[in-house]
Amino acid sequence: MLQTHFFDSATNQPDSPALWVDGHLYSYGEIGTRARRVSAGLAAFARNGDTSRCLLFAHRSVDAYAGILGILDAGMAYVPLNPKMPAARIAAIIRQSGAPLMLVDRACAASLDEVLSLLDECPRVFLLDADADDSQALPTAPHVQNRGAAQDVAYVLFTSGSTGEPKGVPITHANADAYVKGQLQLIDNVRDARYMQLCELSFDPSVHDMFVCWANGGCLYVPANVDPVDNARFIQTHRITHWSSVPSVAGIMQQMRKLPPGAFPSIRVSMFGGEPLPRSLAQAWMRATPNSRLLHMYGPTEATIASTCFEVTPEFLDDPRHTVIPLGQALPGVELLIVDAELEPVAAGQTGELLIGGPQLAYGYLSADEPGNSRFIAMTYPGKSAHRWYRSSDAARETTPHGIVFQGRLDTQVKIHGNRLELEEVEHVVQASSRAASCAVIPWPLDEVGRATGLVAFVTNPAVESALVLRACRQRLPVYAMPQRIVVIDAFPLTVNGKIDRKALARQCARDDVTA
């Protein structure tokens, strides 16, 4: 079970530091006691069969982490809510989750009324740090050990959906445990390990930060904010040993001149994922972290955090032909296959769609009606043990000796600063608010390695009020999904197949930027 990675360490080293947050250092014993209290309060609901999922509306607080461990220990799956998201999006996730219980910390309680006002049926809310006599406090009860089963769901994360609504991905204890054990094989234990958590709990790298850290008996350090300008000082002050982020976070640090040679000698392991890692940034990071291994990770949420790894070496970076870091080899237990449109394996070195199989693979999306469930397929291939595969929609080819190399997307999904985004979700909001007959959203501008840094929306309604459209986007979409501008167009350019020619729209953006 996922939580045992924490509780085993708590049993073996109760006085060792487990969590630094809000300026305080907490031991394994202290966090374990808080988590067991949450677990005991939830146990009655779990035993009565009232719920298998519990919402967590908590942000960078000791209660957030005790809440996760307590929910898991009670035999429930946690569903994290990101307070930085618009209230309408949080409400949509609550509705889809079907969870009747919600745990809230003080920081998020202030914005709870706005979220609940958007719901017809509200979950029952408990304050994590309430006094025992508070009506919103969890019930007080003795702790009862919950055994659970490996195929039980451990957590549900919501990603961007092509239908205009976020879609839930339930990850089982078996999925997550396979990932953690694979990481323990990949990375040697570091004495006095100090992991830094930058991403929010609603993104799956947070699971890596928490449970790989605790499985190693390390301490998780949680900065109050994720301002890249402050990252350098935080690393140096707390002598961070393990770094994990999207490349764009380090890219901003590089732009702010925070990566001088030898800046972070304490770091022993650096992991980047979520978007392409440029060679120039990898070189700068390796100079700043002279004692660190540098690992480039890849994997969709549906296959639990990461599926591949490429270890970057100085020798690899010395070759100027290597402009972007490969995806590399499969992680322990993961199986990969590149296939053509008929799902037949391609010849060596040919480009096709990357399939992912193995014990980390989810069983499907939370909603049985989610169209994306068709991407989970049952297939057998000679020499492969997996019988279920996930169609990643990532184009890739296999090379020697560097393994899998990313070749772009086969659909309209993009990543903005490491955040996965279906363009159709943004288009649903833009079209509804603009009342345009047609609309298209494209990633623009792109950086030197082709990463999207923003969005531009095209509409065919000449009477559209851009300010109203952008306001609707702010109310329903996360910040990274906001179009930077709305462009009115008479008619869309079309491909020979009659589809909107997004490449032609990108060329128009390039021309507009040049003449601006």
DSSP 92: H
Fold observed for domain 4-15+26-172: Rossmann fold (3.40.50)
Q: What span, in angstroms and rounded, lies between the C-alpha atoms of 348 and 397?
A: 8
Percent of the chain's residues with pLDDT above 90: 63
Give the CA distances from residue 293 to residues 261, 270, 287, in Å, rounded to whole numbers and listed in that order. Answer: 15, 6, 11
Instruction: Give the Cα separation of 42 and 68 in Å (integer).
Output: 12
Determine the pLDDT at residue 417: 80
pLDDT for residue 437: 67
Buried residues in 255-294 as b, exposed as e (16+ CB within 10 A): eeebbeeebbebbbbbbbbbbbbbbebbbbbbebbeebbb
What is the C-alpha separation between 351 and 195, in angstroms, rounded? 37
Domain boundaries, the chain: 4-15+26-172, 414-515
What does the alpha-carbon distance between residue 64 and residue 80 come to, in Å, rounded to a whole number?
A: 9
What's residue 515's pLDDT?
Answer: 61
34: Cα within 13 Å, side-chain hemisphere: 20
> What pLDDT sits at residue 196?
97
pLDDT of residue 49: 54
Tokens 């390039």 sit at which residue?
510
Residue pair 179/332 in contact (Cβ under 8 Å)? The answer is no
45: left (phi over 0), alpha (psi -120 to 50) or beta: alpha
CA gap 125, 303 in Å, rounded: 31
Domain 414-515 is of which CATH architecture? Answer: 2-Layer Sandwich (3.30)
Tokens of 178: 């396979």
Sheet of 77-80, strand order: 124-127, 101-104, 53-57, 77-80, 153-159, 167-172
Neighbours of 134 (CB within 10 A): 11
Helix (H/G/I), strand (E/B), else coil: 248: helix
Separation CA 445–CA 453 (nearest Å): 6
Which residues are CB-contacts of 390 (< 8 A; sequence separation ≥ 6)? 300, 302, 303, 355, 356, 357, 361, 362, 375, 376, 377
Q: Per-residue confidence of the chain (516 residues) as pLDDT tens digits?
A: 999 999 999 999 999 999 999 999 999 999 999 999 999 999 878 665 556 899 999 999 999 999 999 999 999 999 999 999 999 999 999 999 999 999 999 989 999 999 999 999 999 999 998 776 777 888 888 888 787 899 999 999 998 876 667 899 999 999 999 999 999 998 888 889 999 999 999 999 999 999 999 999 999 999 998 777 799 999 999 999 999 998 888 988 998 899 999 999 999 999 999 888 888 899 999 999 999 999 999 999 999 999 999 999 999 999 887 877 899 999 999 999 999 999 999 998 899 999 999 999 999 999 988 888 999 999 999 999 999 999 999 999 999 889 999 888 887 778 888 788 888 888 888 888 888 767 889 988 887 767 788 999 998 888 888 889 999 999 888 898 899 989 988 888 877 666 778 888 988 888 887 565
Whether 197 and 232 have beta carbons less than 8 Å apart is answered as: no
pLDDT of residue 183: 94
Which helix (DSSP H) or strand (DSSP E) does residue 408 occupy? Answer: strand 403-409
Give the single-character DSSP code of 346. P
pLDDT computed for residue 190 by the predictor: 84
pTM for the whole structure: 0.86
pLDDT for the residue numbered 43: 86
Three-state SS annotation for 180-242: HHHHHHHCCCCCCCEEECCCCCCCCHHHHHHHHHHHCCCEEEECCCCCHHHHHHHHHHHCCCE
Cis peptide bond upstream of 445, omega within 30: yes
